[in-house]
Amino acid sequence: MTDQRSSASGAIRLAWIVGSAIFVGICLRVTLAATPKIVTDLTNVIALSLAFAGLVVLTHYLGLLSLGQGAFVGVGAYAALHVVNDFGAPVLWMPLAGLIAGALVGAVVAIPSLRLPKAYLALLTLSLGVAFPIILRQVDGNLPVTLDGEFVAPSWTGIAENDEHIWELFLVAAYASIAIFLVQGLLRGPIGRAFIASRDQPEAARAFGIPVYRLRLFGVALSGGMAGLAGGLLMVPTNFNDYTHFPEELSIKMFALAMAFGGSRLISAVPGALVLIFLPVWLLDRNWVVEYGWVGFVKSEGFIYAALLLGTAYLTKGKGFMSLFETRTPKPTLVPSNRRVTSVVRGLVELDTQLGELEGLVGEQSRRRSSEETSD
């Protein structure tokens, strides 16, 4: 039976590898035949998928809400540009600078808010999302900040100078693939199970020795770091940044799309990024954005977001459209059921009480014996 299961799992893995190779080949073929504008949009989709994946980590694995994910993306983009312009770092370090900056800002936001009810993290991140474009405008002014460098494809790639957008796509895809691989491995291990335990039963998790506060702090920093990495990768095809790239509504749109598509896997972040990038282009191509009245409202971007949220509420009970494609049963958490935890904790308390009473009796008997020996 074990040999049959191992052979079946090996066949499934082989099928996944072959299917992935075919899919990658098709994507490469389509990319080489696409226009530079489409390739750049696909590059932005891959980058922003990391920010949406950070929201998946935060909402599904930790049960926390962030309404300022767009601000973390902006922090990463800002840090990526200035680490090259002000410190002369190589352009390939831009994503790493965005990762570090996003993680640090996420930790700074999480330290005070996680000691309060969960709603305060959502409020504080919302405030950050509203204040970030104002702060960026005060720091850099109205003029955009241009990158003092360029991404040149190495000669061994065979990519022509006019096709640098293809090299930028491959570079962003490589960074994103490594990041998703590392985060997915992290979530499948003990840290991921501890995340879910702290989400479902925080008090029981503390009783089992899980540091819930530090775990949530790490989760918020991880989510912010993924968004910062996305911001740094966005600067690869864009090469300039200003406050209009990260408006107040960006974080709200990202949160709405993350809730609409949902899902417990990081791959569920891709549809949200696709809608965020291509929906405005699709509306603009059809001249829907210039219509007014009720017709213009129905054809507006906000109405489509509202329809997605209502659809996921009625069709999936708030779990997200991507949850419809998830058939795998959830993994057990580190913490058993509430009833079992309650009985175990109650038994431990009773045992501690009995031990205390026994120590009292033993102490009283020893005092009696010492007093009797003294009297004799």
Q: Which residues does residue 241 pair with via DSSP β-bridges, in sequence order?
A: 145
Identify the residue with better confidence: 223 or 297: 223
145, β-bridge pairs: 241
pLDDT at 277: 86
Instruction: Give the per-residue pLDDT at 303.
Output: 76
Predicted confidence (pLDDT) per residue in 139-167, tens digit: 777 667 777 767 666 667 677 667 778 88
Mean pLDDT of 42-70: 92
The DSSP line for 181-229 is: HHHHHHHTSHHHHHHHHHHH-HHHHHHTT--HHHHHHHHHHHHHHHHHH
What CA–CA distance (Å, rounded) separates 243 from 262? 29
Q: How many CB atoms lie within 10 A of CB 27?
A: 13
Q: For the ranges 2-6, 329-333, 358-362, which has the lowest average pLDDT?
A: 329-333
Given a cut of 70, whether residue 27 has pLDDT beyond it is no
- Pairing state between β 240-241 and 145-146: antiparallel
CB-based contact 125:71 (threshold 8 Å): yes
Sign of CA dihedral 164, 169, 170, 175: positive
Please report, for the chain, how many H helices and E strands are present, in that order: 14, 2
310: left (phi over 0), alpha (psi -120 to 50) or beta: alpha
Task: Compute the average pLDDT of residues 109-127.
Answer: 91
Examine the pLDDT at 216 and tell me if it is beyond 90: yes
Using CA atoms, how far apart are residues 209 and 117, in angstroms rounded to an integer? Answer: 21
Say how far apart CA 350 and CA 356 lie, in whole Å: 10
Residues across the chain: 376
Kindly indicate the confidence band of residue 34, based on its pLDDT and cuts at 50, 70 and 90.
Answer: low
Query: What confidence category does residue 213 fall into, taking pLDDT thresholds of 50, 70 and 90?
Result: very high
pLDDT at 107: 95
Encoded tokens for 147: 């990158």
Buried b (16+ CB within 10 A) or exposed e, 129-163: bbebbeebeeebeeeebebebebebeeeeebeeee
Q: What are the pLDDT digits (tens) for 257-303? A: 888 887 777 877 888 888 888 888 777 666 655 555 545 554 567 77
**pLDDT at residue 212 tops 60:** yes
Give me the mean pLDDT over the 305-316 stretch.
80
| Domain ranges (residues) in the chain | 35-248, 336-368
**Two tokens at 332?**
């057990």
DSSP 78: H
